[in-house]
Amino acid sequence: MTGLREGRSGLNDYIPVKKALEHKIGEFLCWPQFNQEEAEQRVEQLVALGVESIAIGGPHGVLGTPILGKGHAGVVIRAMYQGQEVALKARRTDTRRGSMSREAGFLEHVNQWDAGPKLYGFSEDFIVMELLVGPYFGDWVKTHIDDRKAVIKNIKAILDIAWRLDQSSLDHGELTRIRRHYIVTKEGPRVIDFESASFDRQPSNLTCTVQSLFMNTSFAGFYGKHYSLPNREALIEALRAYKTEPNLDHYQEILSVCNLG
């Protein structure tokens, strides 16, 4: 972990969006296949959105340049919006995703359930959202496994997020691999990346999260060395009951089987 996840760089690193294409960071506005015309059109989108400036920096290196993150649909860079630091997700030029509007709609929806980074704005190729600073849960837990209180508190908070997502009727779609989908901020864990979300599937946010924490995963093996893992049969039974009827009682039963109740 380096860079932004630990500390903040000076504000003077920020490049006004209109000058962005003259700098290294400008490449990421139209990435991985840079095209001048497309890039200029994207800069216009940022101006219209009210994004003031963008900057290099963050825990992930892409060809030697540190940025906030990279996925298969977008690259995420630091930006300044209405005087505050935010995360700017730019649509990759090689993604099948046609526009950012779908993901932005999902973010807007889960924000009402107190989940996900806050959405500030979006356009065809960009999402402007709350900047979340901290390690992925998968990395955080490796360095904090002995802090029993914090481990239990964060796992409980992660399950609460998954429960709220289920209640919201939206399926995140990637919580079978939770390692990189929860960022542990100073205020607690937060879920990211609604790129693969859908209202068309039965939400399985909680069951996927529980399975990726406690069943047959490398995390479960690691966790089991320090804490008692939930009883397998009891957990399967509790998950089954919850799947049939995802109500508060059944959620609390899962918590109690996981020794978190």
CB 219 within 8 A of CB 144: no
Does the protein bind Mg ion through residue 179 (CB under 5 A)? no
Q: Residue 118 gets which letter from DSSP?
A: P
Does the protein bind Mg ion through residue 196 (CB under 5 A)? no
Indicate the SS3 state at residue 153: helix
Cis peptide before 32 (omega within 30 of 0): yes
Question: Among Mg ion, ligand ADP, none, what does residue 70 contact (CB within 5–8 Å per kind)?
Answer: ligand ADP
Could you tell me the two tokens for 238?
């509790």
Does the protein bind ligand ADP through residue 107 (CB under 6 A)? no
Among 193, 204, 206, 213, binds ligand ADP (CB under 6 A): 193
Question: What residue has token string 């995420």?
Answer: 76
Least distance (Å) between residue 5 CB and ligand ADP:
9
Does the protein bind ligand ADP through residue 180 (CB under 6 A)? yes
Could you tell me the two tokens for 203?
């939400």
Among 195, 209, 211, 238, binds ligand ADP (CB under 6 A): 195
Q: Considering only residues 65-94, where is the footprint of Mg ion by CB under 5 A?
A: 71
Question: Among ligand ADP, Mg ion, none, what does residue 129 contact (CB within 5–8 Å per kind)?
Answer: ligand ADP
Does the protein bind ligand ADP through residue 71 (CB under 6 A)? yes
The whole-angstrom separation of Cα 83 and Cα 106 is 25
Least distance (Å) between residue 66 CB and ligand ADP:
12
The whole-angstrom separation of Cα 260 and Cα 152 is 7
**Contacts of 186 by beta carbon, 8 Å cutoff, 6+ apart:** 133, 134
Q: Considering only residues 231-260, where is the footprint of ligand ADP by CB under 6 A?
A: none
Least distance (Å) between residue 204 CB and ligand ADP:
19
- If one counts every other C-beta atom within 10 angstroms of the C-beta of residue 139, the result is 17
- Establish how many alpha carbons lie within 13 A of residue 200's alpha carbon, considering only the half-sphere containing its beta carbon: 1
Does the protein bind ligand ADP through residue 104 (CB under 6 A)? no
Radius of gyration of the chain from Cα atoms? 19
Single-letter code of the amino acid located at 150:
A
Does the protein bind ligand ADP through residue 125 (CB under 6 A)? no
Site size toward Mg ion (CB under 5 A) is 2
Q: Considering only residues 7-66, where is the footprint of Mg ion by CB under 5 A?
A: none
Among 52, 125, 160, 193, binds Mg ion (CB under 5 A): 193
Residue ranges that bind ligand ADP, judged by CB under 6 A:
68-74, 76, 87, 89, 117, 129-132, 180, 192-193, 195
